[in-house]
Structure 1
């Protein structure tokens, strides 16, 4: 039945609309008998009525949404895992995650005013005027590290630098290692690739290794073969790849050239995607422990909603090397 309202539920149940609202929103501290609560819920189910999220937001000034703002990034296994874990962590409190991809020129103000979220989680720095407006509206604002915004976004990310360093430290165990860096094909990933490459370069310098030989590697065999041949000409014996997808392309290029991994060339990826375990050979990679980061973000949101003065401590970046046969 279409157009069912709380008035219909109230009339069928023989109670007031206020009572219906109290029962269906789970409000505590109201003296309503168990029988009345049961009758209202059963009537709502029979009529197919669900409370309007928009109406609830108007009454309370807040919705049950946590708004996640993603820049124009490609969404792969890492982001999917983070969002899935975050949604799981918040669902127990009746909160839902709404994801907005930052494509186009729509002002952020239009978005958060339309949905009136409980909290906003930004995966990139907020503009100062947006941050101020959301805080004045009573919205909890978080960055991906828990801080309200990153005040110096042009500085390299410590976690991304460490990813590159972990790759090099593993590859440098190879006698006389000459390292190549496999750059990703998607220009939207440049902000991460730049910092990871800087970590690789710094680690090479610290270990007395030559600068890495950087080549773009598209996700197809011919492009990977071209890169592998160029690296062979430069004497490269170990490749740090931007992520596991790029590393898998490098492995395909090595196989197509009849080269052995890790015998002729070792390879280390990033992210520990499921396919990394199934690669030939299984791929050594750097895990970012995304599940831990997602649980931390969920804990921050819930601590604020509870009015807790003691916030959960940051768990660290959780980076660690997953050793397999490719390195």
Structure 2
């Protein structure tokens, strides 16, 4: 029996007319010898491994990131691939890492400068990027962008507030400087809605160096603010706590809406209104970019479904659940 025949059987190479009894002999011998296929050798022969490298931003791990990681892991497995996650830090040489791992594709959940993307592209490794920066979005040269609906999140919050009769808004920032870029994107959506409706620009609560305080919230309400759009549910819960301490009734005097739909928000009093991401849609769009690049397709390719969902609960007041 030739070495080529054994290789064809062990690698299940299609298009080979090898009798079934020969295949059984090869498999039996391999089992007896304890043979295990070498992933490194296969990657070297094919020019790529079965890995998908997931580059994760250095931000607090929240429900969106955890949920997306779970879905991407499952989707990769169904496509015969394996997901490997890596935190992204300034100065990382992703090109060197890709030369070592030879991933089938790279999924990037953080905006990277072109000089960090280009070494991956030069290796002809496809990149699917969930990008905040629409100005740098491109869908060519091996980079396939799936824009993050950052401003759309703020727009959805502001539109829900206006629909509930709240016309003087504030925006509550996260107390973590690593989230500044995302927060500014969401704030831009709130501001855009206010300007389109000739309403005052939103006041700002909190800062990247400190959470919303009781005194700050009381001052905002005295200035006429009737609704707070918070960066996420954690910040929104902090606003509810500050409101309770300041004696400000929610939603009678102040409506509050967050983002992420975390379980604690549903247990809050009043129940927290929020915006959530449809992670199934986002995962499908990222995986579609990956599998297209690899010359295959994935069942259940996404249609025009929205990535965002409004949950109008009691903290929103009129129109809330």
The two structures have a TM-score, normalised by structure 1, of 0.79
Equivalenced residues, count: 303
Instruction: Name which of 210, 216, 233 aligns with 2:200.
Output: 210
Instruction: Please name the residue that 2:191 is paired with.
Output: 201
Aligned: 1:94 with 2:83: no
Task: Kindly provide the CA deviation profile for residues 153-209 of structure 1, in whole angstroms up to 9, marking residues without a partner as x.
Answer: xxxx88222221221122123446421211001111111111111211221222232
Distance 1:126 1:196, change over 3 A: closer
Match in the other structure for 2:64: 78
Give a deviation string over 1:83-117, Cα, whole Å, max 9, x none. 22122112112101122211142322111111101
Q: What SS does the corresponding residue of 1:172 show, helix, strand or coil?
A: helix
Classify the secondary structure of the residue corresponding to 1:69: strand
Of 153, 156, 181, 1:166 maps to 156
Distance (Å, rounded) in 2 between the aligned partners of 1:122 and 1:79: 12
Provide the aligned C-alpha RMSD in A: 3.2
User: Of 131, 141, 157, which residue of structure 1 is paired with 2:127?
Assistant: 141
Pick one of 180, 183, 189 that aligns with 2:170: 180
Structure 1, residues 128-149: CA drift from partner, whole Å, max 9, x if none? 455444334221122226x656
Counterpart in the other structure of 2:143:
none
In structure 2, the gaps of 5 or more residues are 132-136, 141-146, 317-321
Query: Which TM-score applies when normalising by structure 2?
Result: 0.80
- Deviations for 1:214-258, whole angstroms, at most 9, x for unmatched residues? 1117899x9553443333333322110001111122122223344
Closer, same or farther: CA 229–314 of 1 in aligned 2, 3 Å: same
What is the alpha-carbon distance in structure 2 between the residues aligned to residue 287 and residue 44 of structure 1?
50
Residue 121 of structure 1 aligns with which residue? 107
Q: Report the secondary structure of 2:14's partner residue.
A: coil
In the alignment, the residues of structure 2 paired with residue 91 and residue 109 of structure 1 have an alpha-carbon distance, to the nearest angstrom, of 24
Q: Which one of 262, 274, 291 corresponds to residue 285 of structure 1?
A: 274
Q: Which residue of 1 aligns with 2:134?
A: none
Greater shift after overlay, 269-278 or 55-64? 269-278
Please tell me whether the aligned partners of residues 293 and 317 of structure 1 are also in contact (alpha carbons under 8 angstroms).
Answer: no
